[in-house]
Each structure stands twice: as C-alpha cells, then as structure tokens.
Amino acid sequence: MILANTQPKNHLDRPIQFLKGVGPRRADLFARLDVRTLEDLLHHYPRAWQDRRETADLRRPAADGLVVARGRVLGARVIGAGPSLALYKADLATAQGEVAAVWFKHFSRRFDAFARLKKEVREGAQLWVVGRAEGDLVSAREIRVEEHYPLDDPRWPLHVARLTPLYPLTEGLSQRFVRERVSAALELACGEVRDGVPAPLAAKRRLPPAPQALRGLHFPDDAAKLEAARGRLAYEELLLLECAWVLKRRQTRGLAKGYGYEIKRTLLTPFRRGLGFELTAAQKRVIVEIFDDLRRPYPMTRLLQGDVGSGKTVVALSALLLAVENGGQGALMAPTEILADQHRATLDRFLKGLPVRVASLTSRVPKKERAEILRRVETGETDLVVGTHALLEEDVRFKSLRVAVIDEQHRFGVRQRATLRQKGRLLDLLVMTATPIPRTLALSLYGDLDVSTIDQMPPGRTPARTLLTAEEEAFAAVRREAAAGRQAYVVYPIIAESARLDLQAAKAEYERLKSRVFPGLKVALIHGAMPGKAKSKVMDEFAAGRRQVLVATPVIEVGIDVPNATVMVIQNADRFGLASLHQLRGRIGRGAAESFCHLVADPKTPEARRRLDVMAATPDGFRIGEEDLRLRGPGELLGTAQHGELSLSVADLVKDAGLLAWARADAAELLAADPTLQRPENALLRRRLGALYRDRWSSIDLA
C-alpha cells in the first residue's frame, strides 16, 4: 500500500476534521473552541479534573455528592415519571452490595429515548456508573447517573477509575466525545510534539519532556503527576512570556527620542516652593528615578505605585513641568470627570503665578470651546492638558507632547494607553496606580515597565480606624463628627449586574438620610449617572464645606480629596471588592484629625467576611493588594483583557511565583548568551515566541 505511506508524517498540523469520529460538522464546533488542528487539540487543556476513582464506601459519597461504582446489572426497566420526563432504573450488584442506578431522559413520542440504555444496561451487563448520590445514602442507595460505561467498551479507562479531565466545551460537543478525541490525538501526534523549552534548560530545571507533560496533563495517573505536568507546561508559558519581555525591552531601549531634557528649574523650583509642604523622602526618590528616565535617550515607560493619599499627583506634576521647562507639552489623563476636575483644581492651586498654560478636556466641554482648546493644543499655546478619555479623540493633536501621565491606569484598557502614547513621538509615559501589586507580578505583567514605589505617607496623616459596625452606630459617628465641624461620606454600592436597581436604592436612601436620619444636617447626593456639571457642583460644595454629608455611589472611589471629611460609612460593604473598599477608605484620613471608616455589612460568604476582616485589620494598601490577589486571582484584579494579552493558559502568576522566578532568570540568561535565538536548540522557542506575541505585542502600550 504505497498510498498509506505517503500520508503526511506530521500529524500535528492535520485538520481535526480527519480525526476519526469528527467530520466537518463537529470540526466547526471545535473551531469555536479555537481547535483546528491536532496540535490545537493537544493544547486544549482541561479546565478541571474530576476524581473518579471508585468510591470506597458507597454510603459516603464525596463532598460534591459524586459516586463512582462498578457493578453487574441484575435487572432494568423503564419507569414513566411525568408527561415529559421518563426514568430508567437498573439494579446493580457491586462489591459493596446492591445499588439502584437511575437515568432521567426527556420523553419523546418520536423516538425511543432509552434505545441505547436498553442495549447497554441490560441484565448481565457489567458497568461503570458515575453519578450523584440521591436521598439518604446510608439506607437508600440510589445513584442518579450522569455517565455510564460498559466494561466491554475498551475506552472506559479514559473516563472512569481515574482523575478524569473536564474540558471547556461548546454546545454539541460532550465531555465524553472530546475526551476520546484528545486521547486519539495523543496517540497519533504526541510523539511529534517538540519541546519549546531548550534542552539545556529542561535539564537544568529537571523538567519532564513535553510529550510526557501533555499526557500527564490530559490523563494524569495521580495528583502528583498532574502537578508535575502542569508545572512543566506552566514553566514553558512563563519562559515564553519572560523572553518576550526581554526582547521588547531591548527593542524599546534601541529607540532614540532624539531630544533631551535639561533640569532648568525655572518652573520646578517655584513649584516646589509654592507647595506649602515638604516632599516626603519617598516622593523625592521617585522623582529622581523619573527624571533619570526622562534624561535617557530612549522613551520612559514607568509605573508609579503609591497607596491612596501617598501624593502621586505632585510627582506626576514634577515630570510634566520638566517637559514644559524644556519647551514640550504634557498630558494628564484620568478615568473620570470628577477626578480630572480635581486634578485641574490641584494644578491651578500649585501652579498659581507660574507661566504654565493649562487646559481641561472632557466630554463635557462645549463644542465651540473645545475647538478653541484643540487649536491651542495643536499650536503649542497650551502647555498642559488635563482630561479624561476625551484626550484620546482623533482630532486631539499636540504640537510636541513629551510626557503623558495616566492616573489610575488599571481603569484604562491596553489600547487606550497605546492611543495616548501615539499622540506624541516616542513620548515618555508615566502610569500611576493606587492598587499596588507585588513587584514580581508587576514585572511580569508589564515586563518592560520600570516600577517606582512611594512607600511612605505624607506626615500628619492619621490612618483611618476601620470598624465593622451596625448602621446606628455608624450614623451616630456621622452626627458626632458633624457636630465637631467635620464632614462625612455615606457610600452605597452600585454593581454592573444590578446597576439600575442599585441606583434607585441609593437615591431612596438619600431621601431617607436627608429627611429622617440627619434632618439637622446638609445632605447632598452624588452618583455616576448625574450630568458632569451637576457632579462638579456637588463636589465643589462639599469640598468648600457647605454640605456636611455626601451620599455617594462609588463615583467617589477615585481621587477625591477633602481633608475635612473624617467619617465614611460604607453600606453593604460586603458587596464591594477589597480594592474598591481600600480606595474608598482612602478618601478619609487625609487630615490631622482621626478618621473613622464604618463598614456596615451582613457578609453572606466566607470570602466577603474575609474581605471585611482584612480591611479592619490593616490600613496597608500593599497588604490589601496581596490579599486581593489571593482571593480573586490576577485575572480579575488586573482585568481579564490584560491577563489575556499574556497568553497564559495553565500558568498562574500568583500560584506559580516560584516558576515565574525561574523563568525570569532563565530568559535573561538565555537571551544574554544567544541574543537573537540563533542556536539550533533555541529555534523552536524563537518560532513559538513569534507565533504567540509578534502580532499582539505591538498593540500593548509600549513604545
């Protein structure tokens, strides 16, 4: 048979359609899962593994109720159960005695829903059943069957009596079907899988070969083998990621801005003098780090981390002023109008009397005014622009934008950062965040970002005391502080899934607080759905002390600065995430007087409880950030989009911190020894890097 020999030796590239049992219709279904070739299928990793080893004691099912039993059918029959539902019941003799197995099916007049069962589950047949324990298993032994496998089907060892893989599915594909196809693909093509990890590295880190790891991931013998396999594949993903970052960093550093900054101090010195306070040592240190970056020949990409209230704005302003001192322009972008307004007010205060021309750009600016602002920005008559997403509009053009600052960067998408960057030629970018993440993680997420951290608060701050209290107690604190001439926030949650109802509730609460709870106080309401102008008006009044209680939705989460506000009541605090709670709390504790944060909540899950306890236990944003990471995982914390950009499917940046450290060190070493990956043992790594990152990398916010 000559024809048989001419089959392509490379099974990996074969379309999945030609795998036995697949065909064109199912191939389309697989395509929905991004599985097109056998190689794709090998990399279609299980989302979980179910422990389907035989249940040792049928009277004691696993915690999730799962029961796995093996037995001989003593008898079986169809039982009608309702107009649309029918039931098939079999008595099984197992080593542990007799059990009843039941199957539920939709009844149909058109065909016999039990045809297959009648054939497979008949007297004398030997079976595996996987199902849930029904009722009181101590006496009544009944299993509601989810899957069953006749012992004369040689494929049963893929499905039962083992750690069984559960795959991401799409409608029309079953676990059983996918599992069997993966097994077939492993048989055909696994031996061809080549190691992305160069042999010397695999040896150094004692990693199992890739084919073995793939088998172990899909069909592990036991938990230890599974973890070894997963670790091996995770390491490979992380190595690719870290290599990509090394290369990206090198590329960025090869770019020449073509202009330099000189520290002239014509603006910086008067700015510092006019602040009215001394910069903290941490602020001075990060300003030096940033200025060092600015004077380098290649563009800066720096992340400035600093807890809420640590004073990032002054640092950002210093960088912006250096650009202006050197005849360039600066831009400061914030995620909300309130915050942009607040920044504008700060700039006006700190730049009073200095020859710096500032403009604001938000979606609220009237058309005619906007045209004039755009004209001045384009001609260079404006030095600094503060704004929201409105800065990203296509018709916003700068004469010479040199420094761009993005506040609360995690509120922006990767693409928005890239857009701002493109407003200037190789400009210097500073992104700021108050949601600190551990350094190792930051480096892996933003690989070629340098990180500066303000790890110190300005003096004279008293961190807020955080209490879990009943509402009455919280309201008493509001009255007490108001009587002492201070102000309070009362915050209500708004979450996306129930935004409309939440807003209604917040408005109703405002009415209640105004008329019944605090009749003697001046109460105002601010929420995200209000027009921008109305919002600013309320904020201005509150900042000026003309309102004592501000009822707010989380619009105030970001950046509001009213030092006289010393109480915050967070209602339904269990519905907020840790990062949000910390941000909210950061609105108080900004002055010398002691502040109080009252969390009013009725936590329904252990996690919610834990979040509240963490808040009560520590004011430290870094500890809270780490805890948040532990509770939620990086995907959610950083936005799935950002995590998605990293092409990680088995690796977990938090759980695999050890592997990550290896991968970082190995990537640096590898690329130092073989800068463009020309050595034969690195060829595959180079190919994979290209395939994974070449396209999407340019869309990331780097130069």
Whose Cβ is closer to ligand ADP: residue 280's or residue 444's?
280
Residue of minimal CB distance from ligand ADP?
A: 311
458 binding partner (options ligand ADP, Mg ion, none; Cβ < 5 to 8 Å by kind): ligand ADP
**Which residue's CB is nearer to ligand ADP, number 94 or number 336?**
336
> Are 576 and 584 contacting, i.e. CB atoms less than 8 angstroms apart?
yes
Q: Which is nearer to Mg ion, 155 or 349 (CB)?
A: 349
Interface with ligand ADP by CB under 6 A: which range of 20-28, 130-138, 308-316, 577-585?
A: 308-316
Residue 692: closest CA among 700, 702, 680, 681 = 700
The interface partner of residue 491, options being Mg ion, ligand ADP, none and the CB cut-off 5 to 8 Å by kind, is none
CA–CA distances in Å: residue 679 to residues 206, 241, 667, 668, 672: 21, 19, 14, 16, 12
Shortest separation between residue 558's beta carbon and Mg ion, angstroms: 7
Q: Which of 196, 309, 559, 563 binds Mg ion (CB under 5 A)?
A: 559
Query: Cβ(674)–Cβ(252) under 8 Å?
Result: no
Q: Is 280 in the site for ligand ADP (CB under 6 A)?
A: yes
Closer residue to Mg ion in complex, CB, 241/581: 581
Residue 279 contact among ligand ADP, Mg ion, none, beta carbon within 5 to 8 Å by kind: ligand ADP
Residue 308's binding partner out of ligand ADP, Mg ion, none, with CB under 5 to 8 Å set by partner kind: ligand ADP
- What is the token pair recorded at 169? 């599915």
Considering only CA atoms, which of 573, 627, 581, 597 is closest in space to residue 489?
Answer: 597
What is the rounded CA–CA span in Å between residue 294 and residue 47? Answer: 45
447 contact choice in Mg ion, ligand ADP, none (CB below 5 to 8 Å, kind-dependent):
none
> In the complex with Mg ion, which residue's Cβ is closer, 306 or 328?
306
Which does residue 130 bind out of ligand ADP, Mg ion, none, counting CB within 5 to 8 angstroms by kind? none
Contact 67, 133 (CB under 8 A): yes
**Among residues 52, 312, 364, 611, the one that binds ligand ADP under rule CB under 6 A:** 312
Instruction: Tell me: does residue 318 bind ligand ADP (CB under 6 A).
Output: no
Report d(CA 332, CA 405) in Å as an integer: 5
Cα separation values, 60 from 51, 54, 57, 141, 634, Å: 15, 12, 5, 10, 36
Report the site for Mg ion in 102-161 (rule: CB under 5 A).
Answer: none
CB nearer to ligand ADP: give 455 or 628: 455
Q: Could you tell me the smallest distance in angstroms from the CB atom of residue 403 to Mg ion?
A: 17
Which residue, among 610, 636, 603, 638, has the nearest Cα to 624 in the 3D structure?
610
Please, which of residues 208-227 interact with ligand ADP by CB under 6 A? none
Q: Output the smallest distance, CB 56 to Mg ion, in A.
A: 58
Contact call for residue 458 and ligand ADP (CB under 6 A):
yes
If the CB atoms of residues 464 and 506 are measured against ligand ADP, the closer one turns out to be 464
Residues in 626-645 at the binding interface with ligand ADP, rule: CB under 6 A: none
Q: Which of 263, 277, 515, 641 binds ligand ADP (CB under 6 A)?
A: 277
Find out whether 348 and 358 touch, Cβ atoms under 8 Å.
yes
Taking CB under 6 A as the criterion, the residue among 306, 387, 436, 619 binding ligand ADP is: 306
Q: Which is nearer to Mg ion, 433 or 548 (CB)?
A: 433
Which lies closer to ligand ADP via its Cβ, residue 96 or residue 564? 564
Please give the distance of CA 210 from its chain centroid, rounded to a whole number: 28
Please identify, among the stretches 1-9, 223-231, 246-254, 275-283, the one whose residues bind ligand ADP according to the rule CB under 6 A.
275-283
Q: What separation in angstroms does the CA of 134 have from each of 70, 76, 90, 143, 348?
A: 17, 18, 14, 6, 70
Measured from the CB atom, the residue of 387 and 559 that comes closer to Mg ion is 559
CB of 348 to ligand ADP, least distance (A): 13
Nearer to ligand ADP, 18 or 277 (CB): 277
Q: What is the DSSP string of 187-209?
A: HHHGGGPPPSS-HHHHHHTTPPP
Q: Closest separation between CB of residue 329 and ligand ADP, Å? A: 21
Of 230 and 312, the one with the shorter C-beta distance to ligand ADP is 312
d(CA 77, CA 163): 31
Is residue 283 close enough to count as binding ligand ADP by CB under 6 A?
yes
Distance CA 50, CA 130 (A): 11
SS3 content of the chain, % helix, strand, coil (to 5): 45, 20, 40
Q: How far is the CB of 332 from ligand ADP (least distance, A)?
A: 11
Instruction: Please choose which of ligand ADP, Mg ion, none residue 314 contacts, taking the beta carbon within 5 to 8 angstroms, the exact cut-off set by kind.
Output: ligand ADP
Q: Minimum CB separation from ligand ADP for residue 345, in Å?
A: 10
Task: Name which of Mg ion, ligand ADP, none residue 332 binds, using a CB cut-off of 5 to 8 Å depending on partner kind.
Answer: none
Q: Which two tokens stand for residue 531?
A: 């027009």
Is the Cβ–Cβ distance between 17 and 24 less than 8 Å? yes
Residue 434 found at the interface with ligand ADP (CB under 6 A):
yes
- Map residues 538-577 to x or -, x wherever contact with ligand ADP holds by CB under 6 A: -----------------------x----------------
User: Which helix (H) or strand (E) element contains residue 635?
Assistant: helix 634-638
What does the alpha-carbon distance between residue 73 and residue 98 come to, in Å, rounded to a whole number?
10
- Helix runs in 254-351, H state only: 268-274, 281-294, 312-325, 337-350
Compute φ and ψ for 392, nearest 5 degrees.
-85, -10
Does residue 279 belong to the site contacting ligand ADP (CB under 6 A)? yes
Residue 128 pairs in a beta bridge with 70, 149
561 interacts with, out of ligand ADP, Mg ion, none, CB within 5 to 8 A per kind? ligand ADP
Residue 313 makes contact with ligand ADP by CB under 6 A: yes
DSSP 529: T
Nearer to ligand ADP, 283 or 452 (CB): 283
Q: Which is nearer to ligand ADP, 351 or 396 (CB)?
A: 351
Distance separating alpha carbons of residues 699 and 128, to the nearest angstrom: 51
**587, 556 in Cβ contact below 8 A?**
yes
With the C-alpha atoms ordered 149, 153, 159, 163, is the resulting torsion angle positive or negative?
A: positive
Cα angle: 382, vertex 383, 388; to 5 degrees = 85
Q: Applying CB under 5 A, does 586 fall inside the site for Mg ion?
A: no
Using CB under 6 A as the binding criterion, the count of chain residues that bind ligand ADP stands at: 15
Binding interface with Mg ion (CB under 5 A): 559
Residues that bind ligand ADP (CB under 6 A): 277, 279-280, 283, 306, 308-314, 434, 458, 561
